[in-house]
């Protein structure tokens, strides 16, 4: 099963929280393993929120190192001044439950509770089978560019990483220019605006949980209702389901191929996004079923109708 | 104008088959500057490795920064030296992790400890990397008689399966001269002694026994040189020289005692001639000789494998008949955990006594400990779960008035321990941009 490294700038856009939910949705379906999550947003809350989402989906999170299913710390860029908090981070992190305790637990209170992102991602790659890792970039490429400068890392990336998918063409181009040694794909900007995540889905499809960190972040980020672009969600989905017929590819330009929306695939893609983002956490399985040879057969089952969870 | 000629730092006391280096003496400095050692004060680098991880509950100080209050249980023997060391938290040795190679954390963690690489899982065609002590020895080791010394107390087997398909070469060595050539530790105190003070080849156990029968002190061989030198020295240097030569004689006496006791004590396992049956005495002998080697600037680089990684050695001398390794798989049982802690404490007691000796030996205005950086630690953190992150790491000494001690410094997670080694190599004058899986130097150790 392929391992996914998700490097983002959590806190800058609500779309990123949805993209992480899609990734854990795919993990829950055993289509991938979330190996590492890291953020280029120099902000403790950014890392804390990533950990909150990871813990929320704890049943689906798989440890990359050693035995006992240990999970990895969140990687964070810390290159000087810390960035400001944003409501999409502070609202879920400060939410209290009925007992007055934090609704979402996390263990990130100091910088030393986070990992050095380039070392973390590099170390995570060393634990992957050859050509069995995928990198998703949902933010600036700073962490990955720093990692690429470490000794022997270009060779490591070449051996381990099947491909990299960037939500933003600029990040993809920067990595290509820096010599990223495996195929790079970027999501066409038009795709992200053609398929938008509807506000009503945030209200309706996640209703099975009275406390969902992705919903809390989404609603806090901007005044509701609003729809979100989906470039980052598409980056995650394409990374794992690159054979999905909802996508079409451009010819490579400067080493980067653009991922576009296939004709008449808009509704299908939106449905998939909603199903995956709103999927319930899956209890950890000791033994995972193998990935189907044909990705089409590995299609997720439609999520069940919303079942409100009792507080 | 000062014209008095200084005694050479390289002066040796010579005799039949013997050459004894000298400690730093005031006479080696130009007149009117007697407390300064000529040239740059040598900085020593040593690595003291204990196996099977540690009970981290009793290792890590609860608070960040300057030590306040009582030290954790394992560190308590170091109370008199609390301002001489730092505890570094969150350092990781990624090379020790499985990384798809399955079981064998003990084999991997020791092989990767100073090499910073993921060793090849094999019992035949071993492959690791050049260890940081050997990189340093290659670049700066020529300044001393021995570019580096490798010392151990337990097992120097170099072949066979010592952990789930990992060669014993990985569990029983810290130093690697090349990717395929480990440098086995010297276990026999007498062989070490002869290496340091005798010019001839190391004798076989039988030849050594014959010599022992008619043994003379090595000091007897250099009597003429000693007397001549003493006549040229002032009272302070004469006292220093006496203390130094007495410490060598003390080591010899320990041999004689240990060898005598070997005839009466059954250690329960075959041991080469001359190795004391008592662990603490063995530790003391070997550490005394490292001390003399530091004192006389015979070597500045040492690795000390206290016991082999994965060892199941019992510690009956402190009432623990269970093997160390099985105990570390305590599964949370407090009775077993307490025994692990006691073993950790016992090791630390030996180390602390050695460090206090280094602190007591003056070198110019400072002590040998001040001019050293000695890493004490293990390649595993939690021996029960075989974790390779947040390793137990202590840096003892000030690295030549460079490090500020008395603190717990926590680094960000996944910071490679190789970054520490790179920083230490800098202090030694080694020119290298990176090492192992390093991502840079570590900060926070400096005086600031």
Strands B407-416 and A247-249, sheet pairing: unpaired
In angstroms, the CA A54 to CA B295 distance is: 54
Give per-residue burial for A165-177: e unless 16+ CB within 10 Å, then b.
Answer: bbbbbebbbbbbe
Q: Which residue of A has its CA nearest to B436?
A: A151
- pLDDT by residue (tens digit) across B381-435? 999 999 999 999 999 999 998 899 999 999 999 999 999 999 999 999 999 999 9
pTM above 0.90? no
Chain A touched by B435 (CB under 8 Å) = no
Q: Which has more pLDDT, A282 or A257? A: A257
Q: Is B343 helix (H, G, I), strand (E, B) or coil?
A: helix
Contacts of B410 in chain A (CB under 8 A): 112
Q: Is A45 helix (H, G, I), strand (E, B) or coil?
A: helix
Contact assessment for residue B106 and residue B380, using Cβ atoms and an 8 Å cutoff = yes
In angstroms, the CA B296 to CA B11 distance is: 10
Mean pLDDT estimate for chain A = 89
Residues linked to residue B92 through DSSP beta bridges, in sequence order: B416
In angstroms, the CA A165 to CA B191 distance is: 60
In a domain, B295, yes or no: no
Task: Assess whether B162 and B198 both reside in one domain.
Answer: no
Q: Is B333 helix (H, G, I), strand (E, B) or coil?
A: coil
Chain A touched by B339 (CB under 8 Å) = no
Whether the predicted pLDDT of B114 surpasses 80: yes
* Cβ <8 Å between B99 and A127: yes
Residue B19 has a CB neighbour count (10 Å cut-off) of: 17
pLDDT at residue number B18? 79
Residue A223 has a CB neighbour count (10 Å cut-off) of: 7
Q: Which has more pLDDT, A305 or A84? A: A84
Give per-residue burial for B25-63: e unless 16+ CB within 10 Å, then b.
Answer: bbbbbeeeebeebeeebbbbbbbbbbbbbbbbebbbbee
Chain centroid offset of residue B278 CA: 19
In angstroms, the CA B413 to CA B44 distance is: 28
Question: Which helix H or strand E contains A213, and what residues bound it?
Answer: helix A213-221
In sequence order, what DSSP letters do the residues of B256-293 get, joined into one string?
HHHHHHHTT---SS---TT--SSHHHHHHHHHHHHHHH
Whether the predicted pLDDT of A202 surpasses 90: yes
Kindly report whether the peptide bond that precedes residue A225 is cis, defined as omega within 30 degrees of 0: yes
Whether the predicted pLDDT of B36 surpasses 70: no
Q: Residue B160's domain is classified under what CATH number?
A: 3.40.720
Contact assessment for residue B412 and residue A115, using Cβ atoms and an 8 Å cutoff = yes
Q: Distance (Å) from the C-alpha of residue A128 to the closest C-alpha of chain B? A: 7
In angstroms, the CA B426 to CA B369 distance is: 18
pLDDT at residue number B35? 45
Task: Assess whether B244 and B359 both reside in one domain.
Answer: no
- pLDDT by residue (tens digit) across B306-348? 999 999 999 999 999 999 999 999 999 999 999 999 999 999 9
Task: Assess whether B444 and B326 both reside in one domain.
Answer: yes
Chain A touched by B416 (CB under 8 Å) = yes
Whether the predicted pLDDT of B112 surpasses 50: yes
Structural domain that includes position B251: 1-26+189-274
Contacts of B391 in chain A (CB under 8 A): none
- pLDDT by residue (tens digit) across B199-209? 444 555 556 55
Q: Is B46 helix (H, G, I), strand (E, B) or coil?
A: strand
How far does chain B reach from its first CA to its final CA, in angstroms?
A: 38
Residue A203 has a CB neighbour count (10 Å cut-off) of: 14
Q: What's chain B's Rg over C-alpha atoms?
A: 22
What are A267-270's contacts with CB under 8 Å, separation 24+? A269/A195, A269/A230, A269/A234, A269/A237, A270/A195, A270/A196, A270/A197, A270/A198, A270/A230
- Give which of B115, B409, B412 to mutate to test A binding, by max A Cβ within 10 Å: B412
In angstroms, the CA A254 to CA A270 distance is: 30
Q: Distance (Å) from the C-alpha of residue B407 to the closest C-alpha of chain A? A: 16
In angstroms, the CA A130 to CA A120 distance is: 18
In angstroms, the CA B51 to CA B163 distance is: 13
Cβ-count burial of B74 within 10 angstroms (0-12 exposed, 13-18 middle, 19+ buried)? buried
Among positive and negative, which fits the CA dihedral B310, B314, B320, B321? positive
Residue A269 has which token pair? 């893609």
Average pLDDT on B240-265 reads 71
Strands B407-416 and B85-92, sheet pairing: parallel
Question: Of A81, A86, A11, A82, nearest to A51 (Cα)?
Answer: A11
Question: Which helix H or strand E contains B416, and what residues bound it?
Answer: strand B407-416
In angstroms, the CA B220 to CA A10 distance is: 74
Residue A179 has which token pair? 């010599």
Angle between helices B235-262 and B223-232 (to 10 degrees): 150
Strands B149-152 and B301-305, sheet pairing: parallel
Question: Of B171, B214, B212, B222, nearest to B188 (Cα)?
Answer: B212
Task: Assess whether B226 and B260 both reside in one domain.
Answer: yes
* Cβ <8 Å between B411 and A118: no
Q: How confident is the model at residue A125 (pLDDT cuts 50, 70, 90)?
A: very high
The three state secondary structure string of A257-301 is EEEEECCCCHHHHHHHHHHHHCCCCCCCCCCCCCCCCCHHHHCCC
Contacts of A114 in chain B (CB under 8 A): 412-413
- Kindly indicate whether the domain formed by A3-298 is annotated with CATH number 3.90.245.10: yes
Chain B touched by A306 (CB under 8 Å) = no
- pLDDT by residue (tens digit) across A259-279? 999 999 999 999 999 999 999
Task: Assess whether B223 and B313 both reside in one domain.
Answer: no
Chain B touched by A118 (CB under 8 Å) = yes
Interface of A with B in 19-58 (CB under 8 A): none
Chain A touched by B341 (CB under 8 Å) = no
In angstroms, the CA B392 to CA B378 distance is: 6
Task: Assess whether B386 and B419 both reside in one domain.
Answer: yes
Q: What angle do CA B441, B445, B448 make, to 5 degrees?
A: 105
Contacts of B385 in chain A (CB under 8 A): 66-68, 70
In a domain, B362, yes or no: yes
Q: How confident is the model at residue B1 (pLDDT cuts 50, 70, 90)?
A: very low
pLDDT at residue number B85? 97
Task: Assess whether B249 and B350 both reside in one domain.
Answer: no
Contacts of A70 in chain B (CB under 8 A): 385, 387
Query: Could you tell me the residue ranges of all domains in chain A?
Result: 3-298
* Cβ <8 Å between A127 and B410: no
Task: Assess whether B260 and B394 both reside in one domain.
Answer: no
Among positive and negative, which fits the CA dihedral B70, A115, B396, B251? positive
In angstroms, the CA B349 to CA B315 distance is: 14
In a domain, B282, yes or no: no
The closest CB to that of B412, out of A65, A115, A128, belongs to: A115
- C-alpha count within 13 angstroms, C-beta hemisphere, residue A110: 6
Task: Assess whether B253 and B372 both reside in one domain.
Answer: no
In angstroms, the CA A56 to CA A58 distance is: 5
Q: Which residue of B has its CA nearest to A112?
A: B412
Task: Assess whether B210 and B162 both reside in one domain.
Answer: no
Q: Is B320 helix (H, G, I), strand (E, B) or coil?
A: strand
* Cβ <8 Å between A119 and B100: no
Tally of domains within chain B: 2
In sequence order, what DSSP letters do the residues of B368-404 get, joined into one string?
TTTTEEEEEE-S-S-TTTT--SS--EEEES-TTTTB-
Task: Assess whether B161 and B65 both reside in one domain.
Answer: yes
- The percent of residues above 90 in pLDDT, for chain B, comes to 65
Chain A touched by B419 (CB under 8 Å) = no
* Cβ <8 Å between B100 and A73: no
Residue B7 has a CB neighbour count (10 Å cut-off) of: 17
Q: How confident is the model at residue B34 (pLDDT cuts 50, 70, 90)?
A: very low
Residue B235 has which token pair? 């009272």
Contact assessment for residue B144 and residue B153, using Cβ atoms and an 8 Å cutoff = no
pLDDT at residue number B57? 96
Largest CA distance in chain A: 56
Question: Which helix H or strand E contains A12, and what residues bound it?
Answer: none
Q: Which residue of A has its CA nearest to B435?
A: A151
Among positive and negative, which fits the CA dihedral A134, A137, A143, A147? positive
Average pLDDT on B247-257 reads 74
* Cβ <8 Å between A129 and B416: no
Contact assessment for residue B139 and residue B128, using Cβ atoms and an 8 Å cutoff = no
Q: Is A7 helix (H, G, I), strand (E, B) or coil?
A: strand
CB pairs under 8 A between A and B: 69
The closest CB to that of A150, out of B98, B99, B439, belongs to: B439
How far does chain A reach from its first CA to its final CA, in angstroms?
A: 35
In a domain, B354, yes or no: yes
Contact assessment for residue A10 and residue A75, using Cβ atoms and an 8 Å cutoff = no
Task: Assess whether B101 and B133 both reside in one domain.
Answer: yes
Q: Which residue of A has its CA nearest to B94?
A: A123
* Cβ <8 Å between A112 and B410: yes
Top-ranked range on mean pLDDT: pick from B70-79, B245-254, B273-282: B70-79
Contacts of B413 in chain A (CB under 8 A): 73, 112-116, 120
Contacts of A127 in chain B (CB under 8 A): 97-100
Average pLDDT on A48-73 reads 69
* Cβ <8 Å between A112 and B437: no
Chain A touched by B90 (CB under 8 Å) = yes
pLDDT at residue number B155? 80
Contacts of B412 in chain A (CB under 8 A): 78, 111-112, 114-116
For residue B93, the 8-state DSSP code is: -
Chain centroid offset of residue A241 CA: 14
Chain A touched by B253 (CB under 8 Å) = no
């Amino acid at each position: 099963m392929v391992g996914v490294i998700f490097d983002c700038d959590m806190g800058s856009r609500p779309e990123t929280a949805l993209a992480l939910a899609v990734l854990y949705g795919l993990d829950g379906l055993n289509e991938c393993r979330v190996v590492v999550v890291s953020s280029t947003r120099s902000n403790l809350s950014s890392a804390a929120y990533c950990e909150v989402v990871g813990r929320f989906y704890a049943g689906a999170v798989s440890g990359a190192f050693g035995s006992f299913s240990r999970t990895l710390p969140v990687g964070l860029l810390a290159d000087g001044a810390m960035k400001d908090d944003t409501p999409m981070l502070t609202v879920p992190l400060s939410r209290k439950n009925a007992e007055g305790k934090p609704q979402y637990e996390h263990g990130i209170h100091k910088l030393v509770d986070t990992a050095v992102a380039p070392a973390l991602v590099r170390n995570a790659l060393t634990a992957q089978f050859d050509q069995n890792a995928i990198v998703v970039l949902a933010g600036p490429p700073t962490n990955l560019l720093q990692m690429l400068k470490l000794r022997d890392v270009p060779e490591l990336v070449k051996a381990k990483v099947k491909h990299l998918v960037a939500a933003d063409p600029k990040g993809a181009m920067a990595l290509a220019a820096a010599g990223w040694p495996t195929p790079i794909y970027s999501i066409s900007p038009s795709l992200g605006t053609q398929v938008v995540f509807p506000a009503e889905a945030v209200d309706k499809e996640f209703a099975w949980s009275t406390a969902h960190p992705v919903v809390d972040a989404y609603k806090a980020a901007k005044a509701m209702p609003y729809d979100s672009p989906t470039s980052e969600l598409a980056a995650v989905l394409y990374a794992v389901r690159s054979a999905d017929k909802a996508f079409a590819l451009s010819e490579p330009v400067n080493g980067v191929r653009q991922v576009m929306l296939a004709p008449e695939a808009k509704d299908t893609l939106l449905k998939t996004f909603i199903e995956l983002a709103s999927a319930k956490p899956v209890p950890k399985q000791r033994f995972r079923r193998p990935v189907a040879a044909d990705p089409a057969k590995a299609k997720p089952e439609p999520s069940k109708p919303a079942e409100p969870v009792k507080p | 104008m000062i014209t008095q000629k200084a005694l050479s730092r390289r002066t040796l006391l010579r005799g039949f088959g013997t050459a004894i280096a000298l400690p730093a003496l005031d006479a080696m400095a130009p007149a009117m500057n007697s407390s300064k050692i000529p040239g740059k004060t040598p900085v020593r680098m040593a690595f003291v490795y204990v196996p099977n991880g540690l009970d981290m509950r009793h290792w890590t100080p609860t608070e960040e920064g300057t030590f306040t209050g009582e030290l954790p249980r394992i560190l308590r023997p170091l109370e008199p030296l609390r301002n001489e060391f730092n505890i570094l938290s969150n350092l990781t040795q990624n090379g020790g992790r499985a990384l798809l190679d399955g079981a064998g954390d003990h084999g991997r963690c020791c092989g990767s400890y100073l090499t910073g690489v993921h060793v090849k899982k094999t019992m035949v065609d071993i492959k690791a990397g050049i260890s940081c002590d050997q990189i340093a020895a290659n670049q700066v080791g020529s300044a001393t008689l021995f570019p580096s010394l490798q010392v151990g107390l337990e097992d120097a087997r170099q072949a066979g399966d010592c952990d789930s398909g990992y060669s014993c070469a990985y569990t029983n060595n810290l130093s690697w001269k090349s990717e395929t050539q480990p440098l086995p530790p010297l276990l026999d105190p007498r062989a070490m002694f002869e290496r340091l003070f005798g010019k001839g080849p190391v004798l076989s156990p039988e030849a050594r026994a014959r010599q022992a029968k008619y043994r003379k002190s090595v000091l007897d061989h250099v009597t003429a040189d000693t007397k001549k030198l003493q006549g040229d020295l002032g009272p302070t240097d004469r006292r220093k020289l006496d203390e130094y030569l007495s410490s060598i004689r003390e080591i010899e006496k320990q041999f004689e005692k240990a060898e005598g006791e070997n005839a009466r004590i059954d250690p329960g396992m075959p041991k080469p001639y001359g190795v004391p049956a008592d662990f603490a005495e063995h530790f003391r002998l070997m550490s005394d000789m490292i001390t003399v080697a530091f004192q006389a600037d015979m070597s500045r680089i040492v690795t000390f494998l206290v016991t082999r990684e994965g060892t199941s050695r019992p510690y009956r001398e402190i009432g623990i008949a269970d093997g160390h390794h099985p105990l570390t798989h305590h599964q949370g049982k407090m009775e077993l955990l307490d025994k692990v802690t006691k073993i950790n404490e016992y090791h630390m007691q030996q180390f602390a006594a050695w460090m206090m000796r280094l602190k007591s030996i003056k070198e110019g205005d400072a002590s040998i400990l001040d001019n050293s950086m000695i890493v004490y630690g293990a390649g595993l953190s939690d021996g029960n779960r075989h974790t390779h992150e947040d390793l137990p790491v202590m840096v003892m000494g000030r690295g030549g008035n460079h490090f500020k001690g008395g603190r717990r410094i926590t680094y960000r997670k996944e910071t490679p321990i190789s970054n520490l080694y790179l920083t230490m190599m800098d202090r030694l004058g080694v020119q290298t941009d990176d090492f192992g899986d390093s991502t840079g130097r570590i900060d926070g150790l400096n005086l600031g």
